[in-house]
Structure 1
């Protein structure tokens, strides 16, 4: 091969270039699945800690347990919407 010839395998594709641009600006794309599950886990651990400390009784579980799932779902929708708006 000629030393001046360009090898097409040496060129980064567009997704690699986009990822490099994100990291160069000090930011990275949000993994929505990890965000949602992390928030849900954090919420469930918080509920467990509150119940373990006897700050609330067992009857509060009926209205407390859905809260982390709703918050995590709303955060996922927000992250998806904001991410889609930035790509436009």
Structure 2
């Protein structure tokens, strides 16, 4: 057995006590445009499938519905590219 002395435990303070500096990042993270484009395309395809299964659109309407996911995904990717922050 040793006779070591231990420092008392100091509780952890989870919150900052001083204000954050002005050059600190705002918390926004960069958007992966490829993931955004494919996610939008998938979401619009899923919506089209749900509309077809729900009977709100007929199979004949698929002719004009097929390019909609790709147009929406392209528009989302272009918007993300144009609105991207460059610091």
Aligned pairs for 1:1-88 (under 5 A) are: 24-83=25-84, 86-87=85-86
CA distance in structure 2 between the aligned counterparts of 1:78 and 1:54, rounded to whole angstroms? 32
Query: Cα offset for 1:62?
Result: 0.6
TM-score normalized by the length of structure 1: 0.67
SS in 1 for 2:83: helix
Tell me the SS of whatever aligns to 1:70: helix
Structure 2 partner of 1:15 = none
TM-score (norm 2): 0.68
Compare relative contact order (CA 8 Å, sep 6+) and give the higher one, 1 or 2.
Answer: 2
Q: Which runs of 5+ in 1 are unaligned?
A: 1-20
Divergent runs of 4+, >4 A: none
Q: CA deviation at 1:78?
A: 1.2
RMSD: 1.4
Residues in 1 aligned to 2:79 and 2:58: alpha-carbon distance in whole angstroms? 32
Instruction: In structure 2, list runs of 5 or more residues that go unmatched.
Output: 1-23
Larger Rg: 2
